[in-house]
Amino acid sequence: MTTTVPEQAALASTPSVERLRVKIFADGANLEGMLALYRDSRIAGFTTNPTLMRQVGVTDYRAFAHEVLAAIPDRSISFEVFSDELDEMERQAREIASWGEHVYVKIPVSNTRGESTGPLIKSLSQAGVKVNVTALMTLDQVRDVAGNLAGGAPSYISVFAGRVADTGRDPVPMMAACVDALRPFPECELIWASPRELLNVFQADAIGCHIITVTHDVLKKLSLVGKDLDGYSLETVKMFRADAVAAGFSL
């Protein structure tokens, strides 16, 4: 029996972590988990944010950051400003940038009043501060931010593709357009942020996205990449059977 073209494509599409070109950054604020991932050569960098820090009980921002940097001194790490006022954002950004050569300063695309941080990120980037502009969700935002970062220090632009997907929109075409929009800006790297599943890593890789940030829970699934699906099917059947027996079900 011959197979159709779609069937042939499906059979040939076994993924491989070793073939990935996209850089994987771990997204989280649990120090123990970060240190475990630091020992994994596949993890090229780290990102945090105030929400993740609050979830794990961080109360002293500066002390936490210095502890992380002492343990992880040689990979990119992004720490975020948390002021809502642009002048205080700048002060925080300059202090955070002073913590280390590999530190990137996360700055939201606007404050809570919707005021653009464009002039601020331009000023910081031109002064040599490595920024990670975060919470973007549209191609127009990417183009505007890239224009402000042009000719400045190395920078990241984080597009929350996962949140775009949460609205029922397919983020892949938009992210591919963002990759194209950044080609004239070699100082800017695009981050696929807030992924929802491991498949997003391979989608980001396929469109040429530079970086994807992945939570620790999703990173645990790396061991499943390329797993034999017939064997995985049988494991699933055995799981259902074992749980039914353990629960003592009867009809």
CA dihedral 128, 94, 51, 43 (to 10 degrees): 40
Global pTM reads: 0.92
For residues 156 and 180, the answer to whether their CB atoms sit within 8 Å is no
Residue with tokens 């992880």, as numbered in its chain? 72
The greatest distance separating any two alpha carbons of the chain, rounded to the nearest whole angstrom, comes to: 72
pLDDT at 11 over 60: no
Helix axes 171-181, 199-207, angle to 10 degrees: 40
pLDDT per position as a tens digit, 211-227: 999 999 999 999 999 99
Structurally, what CATH architecture does the domain formed by 18-222 represent?
A: Alpha-Beta Barrel (3.20)
Tens of pLDDT, residues 108-136: 999 999 999 999 999 999 999 999 999 99
* Long-range contacts from 175-179, C-beta under 8 angstroms, 24+ separation: 175/203, 175/204, 175/207, 175/209, 176/207, 176/208, 177/139, 178/139, 178/142, 178/209, 179/207, 179/208, 179/209
Q: Where are the domains of the chain?
A: 18-222
